[in-house]
Structure 1
Amino acid sequence: MAGMPGGMRQGTSASRDSGRPGGAAMFIGVALILSGVLSVLQGVAGIARDALYGVPRSYAYRFDLTTWGWINLVVGVALVVGGVGVLQARSWGRSAGVGLAAVSLVTEFMFIPYYPLWSISVMTLDLVVLWALARLGV
């Protein structure tokens, strides 16, 4: 970018040298953690109360809601860990963020018949994270 010493993009290498996340890394890390928290809440609700969600009659990925709850809980915890890795500028943070956001996107897509608005909201957040990690290269 013009005006940046050495042609560095704002929020990338300069922030890694100081140990603090730049603007893009901060956004991605917080978005991953938010997606993780939403998935954990979705998982806890599925584990605690099977009657909370609507159950589709015929669906290819139909599992017991407790099973879906555990899947969402595990994916959510992993997303939070990945988000913390991005915020701390860990070497594995970016690749973990891409992989975890992709897994979360697929699991939320399969969960759409149970709770469409929640799933689509988390899917949108996961897509934004994937785009930001691919485009901004944090």
Structure 2
Amino acid sequence: MAQSAPTPGTSPRQGSGSAWASGGVMFAGVLLLVDGVLAVIKGIAGIASDDVYARINDYTFKFNVTSWGWIHLVLGIVLVIVGVGILKGALWARGVGVGLAALSLIANFMWLPYQPVWAIVSIAIDAFVIWALCTDRTKEAV
């Protein structure tokens, strides 16, 4: 039996949201994976040498650079795992991805004085990941 073409303005997948959101989930998985790799690199740099990042004297959220390195390293590893889960289509990874992207966004905001450009790039990535994972409705239970 031939399958009919979807009506204009709809997607062939049942219950899908907008095309932006549907394609955004795959892109969010890739971005979460990239954000995790960047966090691992930031973490290794912070752990390996205290001279890599700027020293901040009077900052409210002041940790030593090695502590920030461990925070970014652990968060990065978990982000990579969840990013792979999203790319494989695991439903658990979407919810966890939103939570971890929010946590990463907060950590990068607190990291802002140490590496402003890198932190802003990571914040933008995290914001898009949160939006994409929250707006897609393609895998909802009926």
Using the size of structure 1 for normalisation, the TM-score is 0.85
On the 8 A contact 1:11/1:25 being kept in 2, the answer is no
- Tell me by how many angstroms 1:28 deviates: 1.2
The answer for the alignment partner of 2:70 in structure 1 is 70
The answer for the alignment partner of 2:4 in structure 1 is none
Residues 6 and 39 (structure 1 numbering): CA distance in 2 closer, same or farther, change over 3 Å?
A: closer
Q: Distance in 1 between matches of 2:17 and 2:134?
A: 16
Number of equivalences: 129
Q: Distance in 2 between matches of 1:6 and 1:130?
A: 22
Within-5 A mapping of 1:1-138: 2-5=9-12, 7-9=14-16, 23-137=23-137
| Higher Cα Rg, which structure | 2
**Percent of residue pairs bearing the same amino acid type:** 43
Residues 67 and 4 (structure 1 numbering): CA distance in 2 closer, same or farther, change over 3 Å?
A: closer
Residues 57 and 88 (structure 1 numbering): CA distance in 2 closer, same or farther, change over 3 Å?
A: same
On the 8 A contact 2:33/2:83 being kept in 1, the answer is yes
**Structure 1, gaps ≥5 residues long:** 13-21
Q: Distance in 2 between matches of 1:30 and 1:6?
A: 21
Q: Distance in 2 between matches of 1:43 and 1:6?
A: 40
Residues 78 and 60 (structure 1 numbering): CA distance in 2 closer, same or farther, change over 3 Å?
A: same
**Structure 2, gaps ≥5 residues long:** 1-7
The 10-residue stretch of structure 1 (3-12 or 40-49) with the greater mean CA deviation from structure 2: 3-12
Amino acid at match of 2:48: A
Q: Distance in 2 between matches of 1:5 and 1:121?
A: 34
Q: Which runs of 4+ in 1 moved over 4 A?
A: none
Aligned-residue CA RMSD (Å): 2.1
Q: Distance in 1 between matches of 2:13 and 2:23?
A: 19
Q: Distance in 2 between matches of 1:29 and 1:113?
A: 27
Q: Distance in 1 between matches of 2:52 and 2:38?
A: 16
Amino acid at match of 2:113: P
Using the size of structure 2 for normalisation, the TM-score is 0.82
